[in-house]
C-alpha cells in the first residue's frame, strides 16, 4: 500500500496517475487542508476538492481549479447584491461547499464527508484530508500576514513572502484514514506528489507525528519535483522559494525534503543540477504532465523507482 501526499493541481494530477496504476485498497491519497477557509459562511476545501474533481474526471483542465462545464450564475447574482466575488465559486462547485458546511455544523468529520463525496462522485480510491482538526496556512509577507487564499487568490501571490506559518498544525491529529495508513503494516512506500513543498506539503508534514513518522521510516519515500527547468510548473513555488532565499531548482527541493525522502524524480532538463548521492537517489524523466497518458506514465515510473529504494 502506498500513501501519496498531495496538494493542488500537480499533486492531484499525479494522484490521478497513481489511482490509474494502483487498486483502491493499495493507495491512500492524503490531501493538504491548510488552504481550507471560511468564505461567505461556507467551508471551502480547495485541495481536497481539486483532488476529488481530478479523480472523478470533473476537474476543469484549462482553469486548474473547479469543475468543468461550470456555470457562474450564483457569482453574477452575488455580485449584483454587492457580495464578495474575489473567490470564484461555480454553481456546481457550490454544492460541495454547502453540503460540506452543513455536515460539519452537524458534527460530521471533514474526512468522513470527503470520503462520502468521493463515493458519490464515483472515486474509488481513498481521498483523505490530512486532519479533521483545523489547520490554517498563514503567509507572512512584507505587507501583512495573509490567510492563504487572501495571498493566493485575492492578492494573486504579489506580496513578497517572509515566512509561512501553519497555524494549528502542532495540535492537529492525522485524520483517521491517514492515521490508519501511517500505522499500516501493508505500507510499502510514500510518494510526495509534485505540489508546492512550502504551501501544500509542509502543512501535511506539520500535522502531529507526521514528520517523525517519515524521519523514522521503515519504508522508502520518493518525492516528485514540482520544479521543472528551474521553474514551478504552476503556481508561486519558485517565486516564494526565491523570496525565502532558498535554492529554487531541484536542489532546493532535495534540500527541503532532506532526511525525509530516499529518492527524487526530476525532469531531464534538471539532470545537470543534481546527481544520485548515497543519501538520495535521482530518477530523471519527462516530469511534465500534459495529459492523462503523462499522468499514468509518471505514476508508473515513480512507483517503479520507489520499488528500487529502501528506507535509510
Cell 502543512 -> residue? 203
Which residues touch 101 (CB under 8 Å, ≥6 apart)? Answer: 41, 42, 43
Nearer to a second copy, 107 or 278 (CB): 107
Nearer to a second copy, 75 or 172 (CB): 75
Nearer to a second copy, 97 or 179 (CB): 97
Among positions 23, 76, 160, 212, the unique one binding a second copy when judged by CB under 8 A: 76
Q: Based on the shown chain and the rule CB under 8 A, indicate whether residue 77 belongs to the binding site for a second copy.
A: yes
User: Least CB distance from residue 293 to a second copy, whole Å?
Assistant: 28
Distance CA 288, CA 193 (A): 12
Distance CA 270, CA 212 (A): 30
Which grid cell sits at 136?
Answer: 490554517
DSSP codes of every residue in 117-141: HHHHTT--SEEEESBSS--EEEEEE
Among positions 41, 107, 185, 278, the unique one binding a second copy when judged by CB under 8 A: 41
User: Least CB distance from residue 119 to a second copy, whole Å?
Assistant: 9
Q: Based on the shown chain and the rule CB under 8 A, indicate whether residue 40 belongs to the binding site for a second copy.
A: yes
Which residues touch 296 (CB under 8 Å, ≥6 apart)? Answer: 17, 20, 21
Which grid cell sits at 96?
Answer: 460541495
Residue list 162-221, contact with a second copy (CB under 8 A): none
Which residues touch 16 (CB under 8 Å, ≥6 apart)? Answer: 54, 55, 292, 295
User: Least CB distance from residue 70 to a second copy, whole Å?
Assistant: 8
Q: Based on the shown chain and the rule CB under 8 A, indicate whether residue 91 belongs to the binding site for a second copy.
A: yes
Which residues touch 270 (CB under 8 Å, ≥6 apart)? Answer: 225, 227, 228, 229, 230, 249, 250, 284
Among positions 71, 183, 184, 272, the unique one binding a second copy when judged by CB under 8 A: 71
User: Least CB distance from residue 240 to a second copy, whole Å?
Assistant: 31
Q: Based on the shown chain and the rule CB under 8 A, indicate whether residue 279 belongs to the binding site for a second copy.
A: no
User: Least CB distance from residue 9 to a second copy, whole Å?
Assistant: 21
Among positions 23, 95, 124, 311, the unique one binding a second copy when judged by CB under 8 A: 95
Bridge partners (DSSP) of residue 6 are: 31
Q: Which residues bind a second copy (CB under 8 A)?
A: 40-42, 67, 70-71, 73-78, 80-83, 90-96, 98-99, 101-102, 105, 116-117, 120-121
Amino acid at each position: 500500500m502506498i500513501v501519496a501526499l498531495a496538494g493542488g493541481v500537480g499533486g492531484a494530477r499525479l494522484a490521478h496517475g497513481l489511482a490509474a496504476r494502483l487498486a483502491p485498497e493499495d493507495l491512500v491519497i492524503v490531501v493538504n487542508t491548510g488552504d481550507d477557509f471560511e468564505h461567505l459562511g461556507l467551508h471551502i476545501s480547495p485541495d481536497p476538492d481539486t483532488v476529488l474533481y481530478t479523480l472523478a474526471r470533473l476537474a476543469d483542465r484549462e482553469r486548474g481549479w473547479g469543475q468543468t462545464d461550470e456555470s457562474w450564475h450564483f457569482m453574477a447574482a452575488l455580485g449584483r447584491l454587492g457580495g464578495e466575488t474575489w473567490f470564484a465559486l461555480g454553481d456546481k462547485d457550490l454544492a460541495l461547499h454547502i453540503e460540506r458546511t452543513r455536515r460539519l455544523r452537524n458534527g460530521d468529520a471533514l474526512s468522513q464527508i470527503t470520503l462520502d463525496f468521493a463515493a458519490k462522485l464515483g472515486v474509488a480510491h481513498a481521498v483523505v484530508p490530512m486532519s479533521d482538526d483545523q489547520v490554517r496556512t498563514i503567509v507572512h509577507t512584507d505587507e501583512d500576514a495573509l490567510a492563504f487564499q487572501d495571498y493566493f487568490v485575492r492578492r494573486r501571490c504579489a506580496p513578497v513572502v517572509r515566512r509561512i506559518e501553519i497555524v494549528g498544525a502542532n495540535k492537529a491529529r492525522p485524520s483517521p484514514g491517514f492515521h490508519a495508513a501511517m500505522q499500516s503494516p501493508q505500507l510499502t512506500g510514500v510518494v510526495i506528489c509534485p505540489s508546492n513543498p512550502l504551501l501544500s506539503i509542509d502543512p501535511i508534514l506539520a500535522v502531529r507525528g507526521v514528520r517523525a513518522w517519515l524521519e523514522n521510516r521503515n519504508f522508502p519515500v520518493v518525492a516528485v519535483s514540482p520544479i521543472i527547468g528551474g521553474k514551478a510548473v504552476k503556481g508561486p513555488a519558485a517565486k516564494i522559494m526565491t523570496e525565502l532565499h532558498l535554492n529554487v531548482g531541484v536542489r532546493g527541493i532535495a534540500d527541503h525534503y532532506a532526511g525525509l525522502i530516499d529518492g527524487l524524480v526530476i525532469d531531464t532538463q534538471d539532470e545537470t543540477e543534481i546527481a544520485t548521492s548515497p543519501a538520495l537517489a535521482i530518477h530523471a524523466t519527462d516530469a511534465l504532465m500534459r495529459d492523462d497518458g503523462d499522468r499514468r506514465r509518471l505514476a508508473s515510473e515513480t512507483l517503479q523507482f520507489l520499488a528500487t529504494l529502501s528506507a535509510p
